[in-house]
Every structure is written in structure tokens, then in C-alpha cells.
Amino acid sequence: MKLTKSRKIAVIAVLSAAVSVPAAFAILGLGDIVFDPSNFGKLVEQLAQMERQYTQISEQVSGPEHFPRLRSDSDARYTKSIESDANRHPVGRVTQSERDWAHVRSKLRQGAPPEELIEELTVERADKFNPEDYARRTVEKAVASLRDGAASGPER
């Protein structure tokens, strides 16, 4: 196809117009923001869903039972008090820890595996801050005391 002079001028005019036109602006020449109605509808639905969730959560009553019990300063102390053992434990009163100690030593003497005793004591002493650690330390010390032949704790 042979271009005539008039067609050449038309092609050159179209190309020059295309090159010289500045970038189009989206909304009345202000910035490059494009409004997408379908995206806007999705965002409105997400907002409505979040508002429903917030309302549902805010209507739930939160009381002390919904929060973990934190130890008081006196419970959290790991240092020994100045009081003597006699003042802390009245005569004739056996503590639960002493009962645990005697039970573990008795079971170990009968041949119970230490790991089973740790699991049992962990379940029984769920009231402790860290029951598994308490059970592991109790059993390990009882094993050591029996191995050394010392009575490292009260036998009652």
C-alpha cells in the first residue's frame, strides 16, 4: 500500500498528537485517584462486618473469672522468710508438699518409674504456679535422696 501525500500528513498529525498529549488525570484533573464502585462495595461490607464483631465483643461482660489470677507479692517471693520452720508450720501439721515428698519416696521405693510419678504429681498439683516444674524437682530430689541414702526430707 502506497501512502499518498495526504495520508502521510494524516499519519504524522495523529502520531504527533498522540506523543504531545499530556497524561490524563482521573478525576477532573486532580491527582490519579480512580473510584472503583465494586471495590468500594467490598470495603463497605468489610466495615459493616467489623462493626458487628465489635458490637458482639463489647456486649460480652468481662469479669475477674475471665482473667488469670496473678500472684501477689507475698506469693511470688522465692526467698526464705526470717521466721523459723516451727512458726511457719505448727507442730503436728503436715503440709501438702511434705505429703507429696513422702508419697513420691514411697512409690520410688516400690519401683515406680520417675517419669510416671512426674506425670501423676503434675496432674495432682495443678494448683501450683508451674506444676510440671514442681513435680520434676520433687521427684528428682527424692531420687537423689534415696540414691544417697539420706532422708533429705521429713518422713511422715
Residue 32: inside a domain: no
Residue 23: inside a domain: no
Residue 61: inside a domain: no
pLDDT at 83 over 50: no
C-beta of residue 25 within 8 angstroms of C-beta of residue 31: yes
Tally of domains in the chain? 1
Residue 115: inside a domain: yes
User: How many Cβ atoms sit within 10 Å of the Cβ of residue 100?
Assistant: 21
Q: What is the CA radius of gyration of the chain?
A: 40
Q: How confident is the model at residue 80 (pLDDT cuts 50, 70, 90)?
A: very low
Residue 39: inside a domain: no
Question: Which pLDDT tens digit goes with each residue over 45-78?
Answer: 999 999 988 888 877 777 677 777 766 655 555 4
Residue 131: inside a domain: yes
C-beta of residue 100 within 8 angstroms of C-beta of residue 125: yes
Residue 45: inside a domain: no
Core vs surface per residue 53-80: b (16+ CB within 10 A) or e:
eeeeeeeeeeeeeeeeeeeeeeeeeeee
Which residues 6+ apart lie within 8 Å of 132 measured at CB? 118, 122
Q: Across all residues in the chain, what is the average pLDDT?
A: 76
Domain that holds residue 155: 94-156
pTM beyond 0.75: no
Residue 57: inside a domain: no
| CA gap 127, 95 in Å, rounded | 14
Residue 119: the pLDDT is 93
Residue 108: the pLDDT is 93
Q: How confident is the model at residue 8 (pLDDT cuts 50, 70, 90)?
A: confident
